[in-house]
């Protein structure tokens, strides 16, 4: 049922798991196999390694993909990194390797009107350039595994991220020729990063082609209104809810949703008047399949897209079995989220 997206919130010691069904949600003017905007990276006859920097917000910061392999450094701020079917938190210093044509985006936590002037450093190289490099220099053959993992968005942390980030920063002052050696040095950091400082975020088997309408879902998701959240005791007042949503549409022409609470998805009888069905899916890990089957029946009955506006559990030992218990006192364990991401 759609794509699984993991959302962690380290600031509050909790995490969310979002499962999004993109089926039938095609953007205006878009195609059924839309995996984000295709970014055209203008080739430079003088350089095989492209280096650039930009701030945020920026026209470059959107859900998009491109044939080039990308190495991405976040210089400042915190927020959410989106890649393929995953959503994970980031903070300043994160370095990620994004495979060819893997959709991606970084969304920063900023106040209205705020701007991060030097948020991003990006380095692009074509896959065919890497193949030529590895065939001509056997010393770089180990990069093949790194690039394979990049297809699932390979992220560095700790000292490995600091090393790679320092190299990426220094490339700004280097000649075009030196940037080639810088690229090799960065990829070497990825190749030799310890297991606890290198991880992929996209679930295996992800296929961008199945994410119909992903561009609209991601790029326009911010421009939607939720008419309410977990107002379970009033959900039986169908006539009034229809009036509320109709009133919203009189002054807002964007996407309208409503977020019900867990176990209530099949009890709301007025899903036909919203554009997107959503709920707070704090379900035990062992119950996910049966709950998704139940929710899928609702989605199919109303022919509406669906997403979890909230979901997940505390990042503590045992929390995935009791996700709605915010008082659990188990040991801090981020791996609780990894198990949920592959349900």
Report pTM.
0.57
Whether 183 has a pLDDT exceeding 50, the answer reads yes
Q: Considering the chain, tell me which residue range(s) the CATH 2.60.120 domain(s) occupy.
A: 35-102+111-200
CB atoms within 10 A of CB 9: 13
Q: What is the pLDDT of residue 24?
A: 28
Query: Mean of the pLDDT values across residues 201-205?
Result: 86
- CA–CA distances in Å: residue 173 to residues 58, 165, 179: 23, 14, 9
Q: Is 279 exposed, middle or buried (0-12, 13-18, 19+ CB in 10 A)?
A: buried
Pick the CATH number of 35-102+111-200 from 3.30.70, 2.60.40, 2.60.120, 2.40.37: 2.60.120
Q: What is the pLDDT of residue 14?
A: 28
Whether 131 has a pLDDT exceeding 90, the answer reads yes
Q: What is the pLDDT of residue 21?
A: 30
Q: Averaging pLDDT over each range in 73-77, 281-285, 320-324, which range is the top one?
A: 73-77
> Residue 34: pLDDT band by 50, 70, 90 thresholds?
very low
Task: Please tell me the distance from the alpha carbon of residue 108 to that of residue 106, in angstroms, as a whole number.
Answer: 6
Q: What is the pLDDT of residue 8?
A: 32
Q: What is the pLDDT of residue 6?
A: 31
Ranges 253-257, 286-290, 291-295: which has the least confidence: 253-257
Ranges 23-32, 273-282, 294-303, 317-326: which has the least confidence: 23-32
Task: Please tell me the distance from the alpha carbon of residue 115 to that of residue 111, in angstroms, as a whole number.
Answer: 8
Q: What is the pLDDT of residue 2?
A: 31
- Tens of pLDDT, residue by residue over 101-112, are 899 999 999 888
Q: What is the pLDDT of residue 36?
A: 56
Query: Mean of the pLDDT values across residues 209-236?
Result: 66
Tokens of 314: 């505390």
Q: What is the pLDDT of residue 196?
A: 94
Pairwise pLDDT comparison (222 vs 294), residue with the higher score: 294
Q: What is the pLDDT of residue 324?
A: 76
Minimal CA–CA distance to 327: which of 343, 316, 338? 316
Q: Considering the chain, tell me which residue range(s) the CATH 3.20.20.80 domain(s) occupy.
A: 211-341
Q: What is the pLDDT of residue 63?
A: 85
Across the chain, mean pLDDT equals 81
Pairwise pLDDT comparison (202 vs 60), residue with the higher score: 202
Q: Is the peptide bond before 57 cis (omega within 30 degrees of 0)?
A: yes
- Tens of pLDDT, residue by residue over 135-176, are 999 999 999 999 999 999 999 999 999 999 999 999 999 999
CATH fourth-level superfamily of 211-341: Glycosidases (3.20.20.80)
Which 3 state secondary structure label does DSSP give 324? Answer: coil
Query: Mean of the pLDDT values across residues 242-258?
Result: 86
Query: Mean of the pLDDT values across residues 319-327?
Result: 81
Task: Please tell me the distance from the alpha carbon of residue 260 to that of residue 231, in angstroms, as a whole number.
Answer: 7
Q: 89 near 12, Cβ under 8 Å?
A: no
| Helices 143-150 + 127-136 axis angle, to 10 | 160
Q: What is the pLDDT of residue 300?
A: 92
Whether 123 has a pLDDT exceeding 60, the answer reads yes
């Amino acid at each position: 049922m759609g794509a699984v997206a993991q959302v962690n919130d380290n600031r509050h010691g909790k995490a969310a798991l979002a499962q999004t069904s993109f089926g039938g949600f095609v953007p205006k003017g878009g195609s059924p196999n839309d995996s984000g905007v295709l970014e055209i990276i203008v080739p430079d006859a003088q350089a095989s390694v492209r280096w650039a920097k930009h701030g945020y917000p920026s026209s470059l910061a959107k859900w998009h993909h491109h044939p080039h392999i990308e190495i991405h450094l976040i210089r400042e701020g915190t927020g959410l990194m989106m890649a393929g079917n995953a959503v994970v938190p980031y903070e300043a210093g994160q370095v990620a390797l994004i495979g060819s044509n893997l959709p991606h985006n970084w969304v920063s936590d900023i106040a209205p009107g705020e701007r991060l002037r030097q948020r991003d450093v990006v380095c692009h190289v074509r896959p065919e350039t890497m193949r030529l490099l590895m065939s001509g220099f056997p010393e770089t053959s180990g990069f093949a595994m790194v690039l394979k993992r990049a297809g699932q968005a390979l992220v560095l942390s700790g000292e490995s991220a600091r090393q790679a980030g320092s190299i990426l920063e220094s490339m700004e002052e280097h000649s075009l020729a030196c940037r080639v050696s810088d690229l090799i040095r960065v990829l070497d950091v990825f190749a030799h990063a310890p297991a606890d400082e290198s991880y992929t975020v996209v679930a295996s088997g992800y296929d961008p082609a199945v994410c119909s309408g992903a561009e609209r879902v991601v790029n326009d998701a911010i421009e939607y209104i939720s008419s309410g959240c977990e107002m379970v005791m009033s959900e039986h007042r169908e006539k009034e809810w229809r009036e509320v949503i109709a009133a919203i549409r009189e002054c807002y022409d964007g996407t309208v949703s409503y977020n019900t609470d867990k176990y209530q998805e099949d009890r709301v009888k007025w899903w036909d008047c919203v554009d997107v069905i959503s709920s707070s899916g704090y379900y035990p890990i062992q119950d996910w399949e049966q709950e998704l089957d139940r929710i899928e029946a609702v989605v199919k009955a109303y022919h509406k897209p669906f997403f979890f506006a909230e979901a997940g559990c505390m990042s503590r030992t045992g929390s995935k079995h009791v996700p709605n218990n915010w008082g659990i006192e188990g040991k801090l364990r981020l791996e609780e989220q990894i198990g949920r991401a592959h349900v």
